[in-house]
Structure 1
Amino acid sequence: MLAFSTGASQTMFQPDGINGDINVTLWPLQNGTLHFCGFQVLAPQIFWGPAFCPAQVRTAMLDGWQARLRGLSAERPLTFAPCELFDLSFQGGFLLRPEAREECDSHLCGLTTGHHLGKPLPADNQIKAPPQKETSGQSASTNISI
């Protein structure tokens, strides 16, 4: 889990904000470093511009952080595209398998922030774990659910 303060407001890290989408900023760290190394990645704890907040807001941030730390063991990790969706060979170029690409074509957003497929990014997929979904007997890691 990444925990940090930004020194900026949350609006500054939106897709149309001066710093760009926070999901794009976090993608290389969460997927390219933590997930790649085998970690389960929890949603980040972001303190938006604490230096510019009133004291009572900073206190509320710290109280929320303390409460979150107590419940970490119950949190669901963020999800990343499973390797099974890709052709893991040099001949296949390590690209999305055709059947996975076909499934993704029917969705409005890309698979992940990094696998956007030329579509809009999935909303907040680097800062919030997705809700639990029924998998009707299939392994969640092999489902393509966006």
Structure 2
Amino acid sequence: MNVLWVFAHPEQASLSGVLRDEGVRALTEAGHAVRMSDLYAMKWKAVVDRDDFPEETSPRLEVASASRRAYDAGTLSADIRAEHEKLDWADTVVLQFPLWWYGMPAILKGWVDRVFVKGFAYGVTDPSDGRTLRYGEGMLAGKRALVVLTAGSREPAFGPRGINGQLDLALFPLLHGTLWYTGMSVLPPVAIYGADRMSAEALDAAASLVRSKVLSAATDRPLPYRHQNHGDYDGDLVLRPAHAPGETGLAIHYRAGDR
């Protein structure tokens, strides 16, 4: 595998840093190639601004339109173009972060905002019928995405009846709305729970889990999300009544019987 590891934690000596090192070591020892985007170490700029597309002259354009024009013209800022080159190279993308307020740290959200620009990660159409290629199709289709996170909560609280919500559904905006939207096959997230009270034994188990999951990323079964353009949704992108009849909620966007 060619693995792009995107790391978003401000402290290198943290639990997250230890788990990253374990995962990267396991991959390299197994003969896989790894490239790293350590966002805090890179001092990654987390906000989209006019410096991202310096050749764009019209201040009236929406950001998506301006970034699309800059992408097409090859004039996006150098740091964004460097991340595009890494993504083009990778067949597996690992996003690692501590879960803060049910989401990614701002620096990682900013990486997504700036790197997943229109024309590169979304906003493309099928020339044969004009359909928008997203939710399982698109420019990043064929790549796999694995989220590795640490959380202070204990595992049961992220279970089906836990107060925090089932983890894959709590992460739905990232897993489905970002990674699957851009076409990537999304693997079940790897969560290390109780991160603020971890014993030596628990740390060993966490490191073993991360090593195992990154090594099996090429073969593990992705989350069975429904494709937008395979007939499950109507013209308004609403799930057709024949699928999950009478049900609502995020879980209906998994293929029936596959979850």
Name structure 2 gaps, 5 residues minimum: 1-145
Residue of structure 2 aligned with 1:29, choices 174, 177, 192: 174
For residue 58 of structure 1, what is the aligned residue in structure 2? 203
Task: Show CA shifts across 1:76-118 (max 9, x none).
Answer: 2111122221113xxxx32223xxx234228xxx58x5254xx
Name structure 1 gaps, 5 residues minimum: 117-121, 126-143
Paired with 2:251 and 2:176, the residues of 1 have a C-alpha distance of 11
Structure 2 contact 185–222 (Cα < 8 Å) conserved? yes
For residue 80 of structure 1, what is the aligned residue in structure 2? 225
Paired with 1:15 and 1:75, the residues of 2 have a C-alpha distance of 22
Q: Does 1:145 align with 2:145?
A: no
For residue 105 of structure 1, what is the aligned residue in structure 2? 245
Q: Which amino acid aligns with 2:167?
A: I
Count of aligned residue pairs for this structure pair: 110
Which one has more relative contact order, counting CA pairs under 8 Å at least 6 apart? 1
Task: Show CA shifts across 1:105-141 (max 9, x none).
Answer: 28xxx58x5254xxxxx9xx7xxxxxxxxxxxxxxxx
CA gap 1:17/1:94 in 2 versus in 1, 3 angstroms? closer
Q: Does 1:7 align with 2:132?
A: no
Paired with 2:148 and 2:165, the residues of 1 have a C-alpha distance of 19
Paired with 2:256 and 2:161, the residues of 1 have a C-alpha distance of 27
Residue 2 (structure 1) shift: 0.8
Paired with 2:221 and 2:198, the residues of 1 have a C-alpha distance of 29
Larger radius of gyration: 2
- Pairwise CA RMSD: 2.5
Specify which structure has the higher proportion of strand. Answer: 2
For residue 42 of structure 1, what is the aligned residue in structure 2? 187
Q: Does 1:114 align with 2:250?
A: yes
CA gap 1:12/1:2 in 2 versus in 1, 3 angstroms? same
State TM-score, norm by structure 1.
0.63
State TM-score, norm by structure 2.
0.38
Give aligned-pair identity as a percent: 24
CA gap 1:103/1:40 in 2 versus in 1, 3 angstroms? closer
CA gap 1:96/1:64 in 2 versus in 1, 3 angstroms? closer
**1:50 match: secondary structure:** coil
Question: Which portions of structure 1, spanning 4 or more consecutive aligned residues, are displaced by more than 4 angstroms?
Answer: none
**1:33 match: secondary structure:** helix
Structure 2 contact 180–186 (Cα < 8 Å) conserved? yes
Paired with 1:20 and 1:145, the residues of 2 have a C-alpha distance of 21
